[in-house]
Amino acid sequence: MPGRDVSPVLPVVLIYDIETGSPREMSKIVKTDEEWRNALSPEQFRVARKKGTETPFTGKYHAFHEKGVYVCVCCGTGLFLSDDKFGSGTGWPSFTAPVDAHNIHTTPDTRMGMQRTEVLCARCDAHLGHVFDDGAPPGGKRYCMNSAALDFIRD
């Protein structure tokens, strides 16, 4: 039919908005590999879109101590607060908890012969890193993230 919008309807996800302090519905971000390659550096693409891992102690945020919010490099979703960052000694930025459970999702990861839990951005499915049960109190979790998958917004 002429004039009828036939663009695909993207799924909606609930994302916690740091500015308003409440969850809100947002469209899921879906792009082709070519679109992601054009938007990201080669290292960001390798890590965030192809599930890579940066070499320990080389990422720009592993020893970074500014106050603010770590966001997804692909879509800008708020992921971790600097107040929840701790020195794990692993060589990757580590956090005790995400900004909100709505903003990430996890999935089993058995790649490389290991049993791990992968952490992904809930809005765009970017690979962020892994979560382990050997973290700091109070929750005992260590969200071990790749700097290449993160951007930082200062307070």
Catalytic residues: 144
Place of tokens 């000694």: 89
Going from the C-alpha of 97 to that of each of 5, 46, 92, 127, the distances in angstroms are 41, 25, 15, 16
Place of tokens 């307070």: 155
The residues that bridge with 27 in the sheet, in sequence order, are 12
Q: Which two tokens stand for residue 29?
A: 């971000």
- Residue 27 has a CB neighbour count (10 Å cut-off) of 12
Asked if residue 120 lies in contact with residue 129, where contact means CB atoms within 8 angstroms, the answer is no
The one-letter amino acid code at 67 reads K
Asked if residue 44 lies in contact with residue 95, where contact means CB atoms within 8 angstroms, the answer is no
